[in-house]
Amino acid sequence: MKKQWLVVAGAVILLAVVLGVSGCGESGVSGTLKLSGNLNNQQEGIWVSGTGKVYATPDVAILSLGIESQEASVAEAQANAAAAMADIMQALEDQGIAEEDIQTQYFNIREVTQWEPVYNGADKETVIGYEVTNTVSVKVRDDVTKAGAVIDAVAAAGGDLTRINGITFTVDDPTPYYAEAREQAVAYAQAKAEQLAGLTGAELGDATYVSESSSYGSPNYYRGDAVVLEAPAIEIPTSISAGTLEITATVQIAYAVK
């Protein structure tokens, strides 16, 4: 009986405490449970994006070229490849290509095999030779149309082992082009924000958030299967057209509203 009385007393005391916290008395402690914070996840202000675009004339052509030699033995294939590559390196030097503008991209020695049918129906893989591939990246600076003469010289030097894998164009210093594209992007984004503020009756405040991304691409880009150039001298020079590079900058800006 005593235990039951204690339980009832405890319940009454607990109820009194709850009422005292949630209520307001003349001499008691008052309090209110309040949930603070912004329940609205929607971003405030005016968010806009803008893109600026400029065009640049490439001043660097990047050639991917090299040799590919296949012989019955590794030693023979490697010897032929080394000799052909030495001739190509000399041709590049004769064309005025600086040593620091030549970089090895790829070197590989692999077995060359073929499958031969046998009488029991289980095909047999046979090694028929070895292939050595050596590829370099070559930068042709300033006058990118010289890339055609470089290709011709390399083809003559490397003969039938010559491989041309691709060509790309770029600019040595894209910084001023990015700066101009960025200015265009910000001006376009700000004009858009001012128009939106005017249409909605708001007053545009300061920028509270800015992000930017940039890129450039070359419309004159080739990469595919290697082009095999024949050994005889080329009477018609290889023509190279650099075109233009498209450099873009995109910004996203948030403006406060008053």
Q: Where are the domains of the chain?
A: 59-171+225-235
Report the half-sphere exposure of 234 (CA within 13 A, side-chain side): 18
Beta strands in the chain (DSSP E): 46-56, 60-71, 102-116, 124-141, 162-170, 204-217, 222-228, 245-257
Instruction: Please state, in angstroms and rounded to a whole number, the distance separating the CA atoms of residues 256 and 100.
Output: 51
How many helices (H) and strands (E) are present in the chain, helices listed first? 4, 8
Say if CB 165 and CB 226 are below 8 A apart.
yes
Is the per-residue pLDDT at 217 higher than 90?
no
Would you say the pTM of this structure is higher than 0.85? no
Q: Which pLDDT band holds residue 121 (cuts at 50, 70, 90)?
A: low
Confidence of residue 237 (pLDDT cuts 50, 70, 90): confident
Question: Residue 123 has what pLDDT?
Answer: 79
> Please, are residues 178 and 171 in contact by the beta-carbon 8 Å criterion?
no
Class of domain 59-171+225-235: alpha beta
Token digits of residue 56: 């640049």
CB 169 within 8 A of CB 245: yes
Give the span between the Cα atoms of 154 and 90, in whole angstroms: 9
Residue 157 predicted with pLDDT over 70: yes
Burial (0-12, 13-18, 19+ Cβ within 10 Å), 155: buried
Distance (Å, whole) CA 208 – CA 197: 15
